[in-house]
Amino acid sequence: MLIYLRVIKESFNFAISALRNNRLRTFLSLLGVTIGIFSIIAVLAAVDSLQKEIKGSISALDNSTVIVMRFSFGPTDIPRWKREQFPDVTFEEYQYLKKTLPEAEAVSFSLGVPSASLKYNDVLTNGVDIGAVTPEYYDIEAFEFEEGRFFTESEGDTGSAVIVLGNEVAKNLFGENTNPLGKEVRLYGRRVTVIGVLKKQGQSLFGNSRDGQAFVPAKFARRIYGVTKGMVFPQMILKPKDGVDNDAFIAKIKQNLRRFRGLKPDEIDTFFVAQLQGFSDFIDNITGKLNIIGLIISGFSLLVGGFGIANIMFVSVKERTNLIGIQKSLGAKNRFILSQFLFEAIILSVIGGLVGLFLVWIVSIVASQFTGDFEFVLSPVNILIGTIVSAVIGLISGIVPAISASRLDPVEAIRTGM
């Protein structure tokens, strides 16, 4: 064991010596490994960051959450002309499912209404995304409040003129020093009372950030827009209780909704049901493919880097032929010489890889500064991957030079070096 520790120490010294004595040659040779590791880890870090951002955007909703509406969530075999004839989900259907689904922890009704302007005194905020929902939505989405509360069931049932503001909307209307709670703002030309302000969420890649949204009772919005098809886009959002089988839950939703609509057994569903788990799996599938494509492209850079390491090691064997002959004449075994050059190749490759990782770290910091709330993350797993890949490249690239060095005849080696 001690002899191999000594081999590692000597190999490290030889690697550092190569860096010092042949700076330009070593730099150019290690550049391939540096670029290769930089490319691979940059791709992995970018995809991981993108995946984290997208999943963070939908993390407020549980993966088991189910959405029911007349629109398809993805490719479907149902012709477009037939899909356009599907009726919207209705408030009555929401009430029916709420009563007939004991497996549901919460059933909420939502209206997709156009964005609107909010006004407080002389301050006007345009383009606010309005979420018209029933009170159960609070039990489905993980709302965090800076001040106030969500509307109650009685406020939802009566369609009270109350509103919950996103953090940015509240700041735009009231500034930093005014408490919005209890204040009246104008929405759709009507006065509504602010009862809550959400905590700041930040940017969101999937959907709109809650910072720029406001929530009102669905019945309040229905009085404004009615139920005219095309004006609003109703949907139901359902969350199953813990331990409920998701497939059975979806099947029960379809069964109950078909019964309510009076669909015959030979008729197709006139609605679409989707689960967020499917979207999460879709994200994993896409990011997985992006990782594979990035790794294949980056692999060519590593191939060039491997040739560079092999070149350094062949030159190193040539320059130290005399020393190898002396070591073998003093009793050094072939495996000792082999290990010495293999460790040197691995150390050189890891040095190049660490430089690549350092560059990725610098780029991630700079990129995060220019992309606002989107954060590029260099995870410990990616650092470990970069280090292991560097070592493997060094091992593969150094194996042939190391074998050639271990097989040198000591007499010929000494004579060649003289």
Q: Given pLDDT bands bounded at 50, 70 and 90, which one contains residue 342?
A: confident
Using alpha carbons, select from 33, 42, 69 the residue that is nearest to residue 272: 69
Average pLDDT, the chain: 80
**Do 101 and 107 contact (CB within 8 A), yes or no?**
yes
Helices (H), 262-320: 276-319
- Nearest Cα neighbor of 146 from 186, 176, 126, 123 is 176
Residue 356 has pLDDT above 50, yes or no: yes
Q: Which residue has the higher pLDDT, 61 or 109?
A: 109
Supply the DSSP symbol for 141. B
Q: For the residues 49-56, what does the mean pLDDT come to?
A: 64
Percent of the chain's residues with pLDDT above 90: 14
Of 393, 412, 378, 314, the closest CA to residue 346 belongs to 393
Question: Is 96's pLDDT higher than 80?
Answer: yes
Please list, in sequence order, all residues whose beta carbon lies within 8 angstroms of the beta carbon of residue 360, skipping any fewer than 6 positions away: 38, 41, 42, 45, 378, 386
**In angstroms, rounded to a whole number, what is the distance separating the alpha carbons of residues 87 and 94?**
14
Chain position carrying tokens 């009170």? 135
Four-point Cα dihedral 364, 365, 369, 375, nearest 10: 50
Residue 244: is its pLDDT beyond 90?
no
User: How does residue 7 score in pLDDT terms, banded at 50, 70 and 90?
Assistant: low
More confident residue, 224 or 286: 224
> DSSP alpha helices (H): ranges in 371-409?
380-406
